[in-house]
C-alpha cells in the first residue's frame, strides 16, 4: 500500500478536508492568541497549532500574519457595527437614548472581545478595502446617531461643534473601554460588576455630555 503523501499540498488538502470552516477556525484561534499575548506575541505557527492544522494552513488562506490580522480586524469592525446597531434598537425612538446605548454597546463589545478590540485600531495606514469599508461602517453608525440627535440630515455636513461632539463621544467610550480592560475600575465595581459599571457610571456620563449638545442644537434651529 502506498504511503500517504507528506507534501505541503497534501497537508493543505488534509487541513481543508478536516476543517470545512477552516478560515473561521483560524480567525477564532488568532483572536484567542491576541487576547492572551497581544500583537507582539502573535504568530501563525501558534494559530495553526491551536487550530490543529499544519503550519502552512494559515499562510495558504491569508498569505502571511498581516493578512490574518487584517481579516480578524475586519470581522471585529463588523462586530462593532452590529453592537452599535443593537444599541440603536435598545434606545428606541429617542436619539439621545440611542447614542447612550451605542456607547454602552461599544464598551460592551470591547470587554467581550478584548483580542479583537486590541487589534482593530493597530493595522496602520496600509489597510485593504474590506477593512476600510468595515471601519467606515462603524464610524458612520456613530455619526448617524449624532446627526439624529442634532437634526442634521445627510449629506449636509456636520458643524464644527457637532463633529467635535462626535469625536468626543468616541474618545470617551474608547478610553473607557481601554481603562476597563486594564482593570483600572475593578476596585470600585458596583454589585453588577462590569455591566453595572457601564449602566451606573458610563451611561450617566454620556447622557450629560449628549444632553448639552442636544440643547444647543435645538436652540439653533
Arithmetic mean of pLDDT over the chain: 86
Do 54 and 130 fall into the same domain?
A: no
Q: Does residue 54 fall inside a structural domain? A: yes
Same domain, yes or no: 113 and 136: yes
pTM of the predicted model, to two decimals?
0.84
- Average pLDDT of the segment spanning 61-68: 90
Residue ranges making up the domain that contains 204 = 72-219
- How many folded domains does the chain comprise? 2
Report if residue 45 sits inside a domain: yes
Cell digits for 210? 449628549
For residues 59 and 146, state if they share a domain.
no
For residue 127, give Cα distances in angstroms to 90, 114, 132, 171, 201.
32, 21, 6, 22, 35
123 within some domain: yes
Whether residues 152 and 57 share a domain: the answer is no
pLDDT, tens digit, 9 for 90 and up, residues 91-104? 999 999 999 999 99
Classify residue 151 as left (phi > 0), alpha (psi -120 to 50) or beta.
Answer: left
Task: Please report, for the domain that includes residue 81, its CATH number.
Answer: 1.10.357.10
Residues 55 and 82 placed together within one structural domain of the fold: no
Question: Hey, how many other C-beta atoms are within 10 angstroms of the C-beta on 107?
Answer: 25
Average the pLDDT over 194-215 and give the result: 89
On whether both 57 and 85 belong to a single domain, the answer is no
Answer yes or no: is 3 within a domain: no
User: Do 135 and 39 share a structural domain?
Assistant: no
Q: Is residue 195 part of a domain?
A: yes
State residue 38's pLDDT score. Answer: 87
Give domain status of residue 108, yes or no.
yes
Q: DSSP state, 121?
A: T
Does 16 have pLDDT greater than 70?
A: no
Using the predicted structure, report yes or no on whether residue 188 has a pLDDT greater than 60.
yes
Q: Region 107-128: what's the mean pLDDT? A: 84
Q: Are residues 49 and 100 in the same domain?
A: no
- Residue scoring higher pLDDT (219 or 66): 66
Same domain, 47 and 91: no
In a shared domain, residues 16 and 99: no
| CA quadruple 154, 157, 160, 166: dihedral sign | positive
The answer on 135 and 36 residing in a single domain is no
Q: Is the pLDDT of residue 136 over 50?
A: yes
Tens digit of pLDDT for each residue in 19-56? 448 888 999 999 999 989 988 899 999 999 999 999 89
pLDDT 10s digits, 139-148: 999 999 999 9
Residue 7 — very low, low, confident or very high, per pLDDT cuts 50/70/90?
very low
Residues 31 and 50 in one domain: yes
What band does 216 get if pLDDT is binned at 50, 70 and 90? low
Q: State how far the Cα of 127 lies from the Cα of 56, in Å rounded to an integer.
A: 24
Asked if residue 91 belongs to a domain, the reply is: yes
On whether residue 2 sits in a domain, the answer given is: no
CATH number reported for the structural domain that contains residue 42 in this entry: 1.10.10.60
Amino acid at each position: 500500500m502506498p504511503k500517504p503523501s507528506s507534501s505541503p499540498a497534501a497537508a493543505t488538502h488534509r487541513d481543508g478536508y478536516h476543517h470545512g470552516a477552516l478560515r473561521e477556525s483560524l480567525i477564532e484561534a488568532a483572536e484567542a492568541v491576541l487576547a492572551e499575548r497581544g500583537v507582539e506575541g502573535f504568530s501563525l505557527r501558534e494559530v495553526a497549532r491551536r487550530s490543529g492544522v499544519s503550519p502552512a494552513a494559515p499562510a495558504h488562506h491569508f498569505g502571511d500574519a498581516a493578512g490574518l490580522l487584517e481579516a480578524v480586524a475586519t470581522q471585529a469592525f463588523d462586530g462593532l457595527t452590529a453592537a452599535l446597531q443593537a444599541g440603536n434598537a435598545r434606545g428606541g425612538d429617542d436619539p439621545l437614548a440611542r447614542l447612550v446605548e451605542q456607547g454602552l454597546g461599544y464598551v460592551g463589545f470591547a470587554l467581550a472581545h478584548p483580542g479583537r478590540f486590541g487589534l482593530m485600531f493597530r493595522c496602520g495606514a496600509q489597510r485593504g478595502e474590506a477593512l476600510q469599508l468595515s471601519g467606515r461602517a462603524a464610524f458612520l453608525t456613530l455619526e448617524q446617531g449624532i446627526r439624529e440627535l442634532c437634526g442634521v440630515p445627510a449629506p449636509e455636513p456636520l458643524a464644527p461643534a457637532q463633529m467635535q461632539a462626535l469625536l468626543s463621544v468616541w474618545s470617551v467610550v474608547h478610553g473607557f473601554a481601554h481603562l476597563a480592560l486594564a482593570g483600572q475600575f475593578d476596585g470600585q465595581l458596583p454589585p453588577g460588576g462590569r455591566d453595572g459599571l457601564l449602566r451606573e457610571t458610563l451611561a450617566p456620563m454620556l447622557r450629560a455630555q449628549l444632553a448639552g449638545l442636544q440643547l444647543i442644537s435645538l436652540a439653533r434651529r
